[in-house]
Structure 1
Amino acid sequence: MLNIHRHRAFHYINPNPLPFLLHFCTNTSPSTSFQVSYLIHNFGFSPQCANKLCSSYNVRFKTTQKPDSVLNFFTNHGFSKTQLHNMITKAPWLLSCDPIKRVLPKFQFFLSKGASNSDIVNLVTKNPMVLSSSLKNQIVPTYELAYGFLQSHKDTIDCVNNSPTFFGDRRVASNIRLLIENGVADSNIARLLKSRCRILQTCDMLKLVEELKDLGFDPSKATFAVALNAKITVNKTLWKEKVDAFKKWGWSDQDVLVAFRTQPYCMLVSIDKINLVMNFWVNELGWDAMALVKGSAILLLSLEKRIIPRAQVVQYLLKKGLRKANASLICPFIVPDKLFLDMFITRFEESSYLLKLYEENLNLA
């Protein structure tokens, strides 16, 4: 359990050996450094791995006192043997640090903002490099910047849980400033922070913002944040594969762009889902795939729970001449449930049959 009030005790070594600390062995070869031997005997690293970690991260200590005190500090703060192993693998330099001066203030800061003990353990285990960031110059300013948009300590702490490198990444502040300068609404920035804060760690933000503006996206609209998410989340190879999946159903490159502008979430849908919906729409219903260009929101809906049950009702209405052949095929699928019942079921004399047809297909989901 994290304890920020009894930190003086952490200066001392527990008189009872920790279960994961093997007694340091002194009979290593003369060519093996003290630090390398410590990593081998206390963490089970191979000589090659231990040597690489020490040389790459400039690990320095001459006795067991410093690294043992570090491990006792983290153990007293709730870190398990496995978590310590993973943490030291990524940041062996921690064994040389003064945890009271370098680590404890950061724990205290996150605790003061409402982070739980497990939040902090999870954060540091996944990304111990956050402990190398300056509390005053990096962590606090980034935290306060994110909090300014989210207005919630819980949501701000979740940024750490969603992306352990978030508060140590200098790109976050510069990318947020760039978005503001390009007219991105505060609500959009808050949405990005809450749903996909990793997006704010991209190194190509300016290029992506300009590309989306050239495509006609308005930075002040909610769709801009979704489009930015899609552009960053979907790599170029996968993007091309999704475009090709749409083109297989008769769309052109321009059609894909229109669909993306209409509903940018459509490029976050899997290729399998694209093909399943298109196959049902074209081959089973016999409808035109081009109708989905400006109705790409349908691709986001559940095939079993939404599209199929409602399609059965719409097909019946078209067959019986109760709905005009040139009426929108998209509207019946995007309206809320109550409105769908009012517009396409209960207003007709055949309402009992239509409701049964709808519910039977709904229950098959």
Structure 2
Amino acid sequence: MRTVYICKSLISLSLKNSSHLNKTPISLFPLLFFSSSLETPIAVANYLNDRHKFSAETASKVSSVVKYVKRPEETDSILSFLQESGFSDTHLQRVIKNAPQVLSANLERSIKPKFKFFQDLGFSSSDVVEIVSNDPRILTRSVDNRLGPSILTLKSVFGSNMDDVSRFVKRYGRILSFDLAKTMIPNIEFIMKSCGMSWTQITRYVYNCPRLFLFKPTQIREYVKRVDEMGINRKSKMFLPAIRAIRTMSIENWELKLEVFKSLGFSEDDILSVFRRAPLVFALSERKIRAKTQLLLSTGKCDISYVVNHPFLLTLSVENRLKPRLRVLEVLESRNLLLKNPSLATVFWFTDDKFFEKYVLPYSDEVGELFVVNKV
């Protein structure tokens, strides 16, 4: 309506001035173009709620970062393009919630090139949806300065095997936000040299635990120094897990965990032994360490030395493994159904299927329902 009004006013003005030939005529076209391109900004919450039926929770979160949608029709085009590319309503809300900048992006210059980049690498449409949904901020990254170099780096790590790169990116899409040439490559080279690992070993570890290789090289060297001080041999298979554990803790956190172990009855030698055998125990919270240790000791089937010799027990879930299996054993023992008392380490090491086959299936009338209920 506003455009029509402006047009009528300009035409009227032009007719009034048409007799004054000595004056420069007014050109309507620039003004008409300018007026037709104007859009009234809309509050983000109203835009997402009313225009696109986003959830109130998503609209509220986005509006705390972005107040207005300045060009609603352009933003409509972005959302339409994402829908046409296979994004569901849930995907869309995840993208906008985690990367509100997408609302003000340029579809042709910023959004579409990211999709073309992945498609040119051989990723399917569903792959791209998965990658972007897992890390929507990918849509805000530069293809030339970040995404492209990151893919090249991953190719150098995985031997240009695009199947491996594809699986890796789908699983850890956020890694493309890092400057891998300055973090991953120097860290891989340092750890290989320090630990005497083969390229095959290191790439397997990169695939399963990439975050370890994303720290600044100076930080990795500091973690290695701290692990050395714990007495773990660099060629031990526990060396990299020890680095993983150390990087989750500040010196203060480490001291707190030492105090928890000491309060439970562990000596300093016991604590170091646990760390050397199962360093990831120290990545647990103080609360979990205390709860799991107290549960194991309360059974009367093991003492501190048993836990020290089988520290993997502290890495198991209380609700999904420790308690259900202890309850099954308790019932079987109370009814004298076991010929001998099994080792707790063995019982807890079994997979769920193996435990079911050995301790539940033969006694299904007594513990079948109990194990299923607790397992769930």
Question: Which TM-score band applies after superposition, normalised by the shorter structure?
Answer: 0.5 to 0.7
* Alignment-derived partner of residue 243 in structure 2: 228
* Alignment-derived partner of residue 217 in structure 1: 232
Which of 179, 197, 214 is the matching residue for 1:201? Answer: 214
Which of 115, 123, 126 is the matching residue for 1:107? Answer: 115
Q: Is the 8 A contact 1:90 1:128 kept in 2?
A: yes
Question: Which residues of structure 2 form unaligned runs of 5+?
Answer: 1-37, 50-57, 352-357, 372-376
Matched, 1:131 2:146: no
Matched, 1:73 2:81: yes
1:40-71 CA distances to partner (integer Å, 9 max, x unpaired)?
A: 5532498997596269xxx8x6x555333323
SS of equivalent to 1:285: coil
Matched, 1:165 2:174: yes
* Alignment-derived partner of residue 297 in structure 1: 312
Deviation at 1:77, TM superposition (A): 1.0
Q: Relative to structure 1, is the Cα distance of residues 225 and 285 closer, same or farther in structure 2, using a 3 angstrom cutoff?
A: same
Matched, 1:190 2:199: no
1:283-332 CA distances to partner (integer Å, 9 max, x unpaired)?
A: 443644124324323434654559996xx89x9879xxxxxxxxxx8986
C-alpha separation in 2, matches of 1:82 and 1:307: 40
* Alignment-derived partner of residue 186 in structure 2: 177
C-alpha separation in 2, matches of 1:50 and 1:317: 64
User: Within 5 Å, which residues of 2 pair with 1:1-365?
Assistant: 36-37=41-42, 39=44, 41-44=46-49, 53=66, 66-81=74-89, 83-113=91-121, 115-150=123-158, 153=162, 155-170=164-179, 173-182=182-191, 183=193, 184=195, 185=197, 186-203=199-216, 204-233=219-248, 242-268=257-283, 274-275=289-290, 278-279=293-294, 282-285=297-300, 287-300=302-315, 302-303=321-322, 305=325
SS of equivalent to 2:266: coil
C-alpha separation in 2, matches of 1:172 and 1:140: 12
The TM-score, its normalising length taken from structure 1, stands at: 0.61
Q: Once structures 1 and 2 are overlaid, which stretch shifts more, 300-309 or 92-101?
A: 300-309
Question: Which structure: larger Rg?
Answer: 2
C-alpha separation in 2, matches of 1:214 and 1:253: 14
Q: Is the 8 A contact 2:241 2:279 kept in 1?
A: yes
Residues paired across the two proteins, number:
302
Higher RCO (Cα < 8 Å, 6 or more apart): 1
Q: Relative to structure 1, is the Cα distance of residues 138 and 274 closer, same or farther in structure 2, using a 3 angstrom cutoff?
A: same
Q: Relative to structure 1, is the Cα distance of residues 172 and 282 closer, same or farther in structure 2, using a 3 angstrom cutoff?
A: farther
SS of equivalent to 2:264: coil
C-alpha separation in 2, matches of 1:261 and 1:153: 37
SS of equivalent to 2:87: coil
Q: Is the 8 A contact 1:191 1:225 kept in 2?
A: no
Deviation at 1:249, TM superposition (A): 2.8
RMSD: 4.9
C-alpha separation in 2, matches of 1:278 and 1:64: 57
Sequence identity of aligned pairs in percent? Answer: 21
Q: Relative to structure 1, is the Cα distance of residues 41 and 286 closer, same or farther in structure 2, using a 3 angstrom cutoff?
A: closer
Deviation at 1:251, TM superposition (A): 0.9
Q: Relative to structure 1, is the Cα distance of residues 257 and 146 closer, same or farther in structure 2, using a 3 angstrom cutoff?
A: farther
Deviation at 1:170, TM superposition (A): 1.8
The TM-score, its normalising length taken from structure 2, stands at: 0.59
SS of equivalent to 2:86: coil
* Alignment-derived partner of residue 20 in structure 2: none
Question: Which residues of structure 1 form unaligned runs of 5+?
Answer: 1-32, 319-328, 338-354
* Alignment-derived partner of residue 354 in structure 2: none
Q: Is the 8 A contact 1:175 1:205 kept in 2?
A: no
1:213-263 CA distances to partner (integer Å, 9 max, x unpaired)?
A: 332334454322222222334676765554444323311344222211122
C-alpha separation in 2, matches of 1:334 and 1:90: 40
C-alpha separation in 1, matches of 2:103 and 2:295: 59
Q: Relative to structure 1, is the Cα distance of residues 67 and 247 closer, same or farther in structure 2, using a 3 angstrom cutoff?
A: same
Q: Once structures 1 and 2 are overlaid, which stretch shifts more, 124-133 or 229-238?
A: 229-238
Q: Which amino acid aligns with 2:271?
A: V
* Alignment-derived partner of residue 54 in structure 2: none
Q: Which amino acid aligns with 2:48?
A: F
1:331-359 CA distances to partner (integer Å, 9 max, x unpaired)?
A: 8679989xxxxxxxxxxxxxxxxx99997
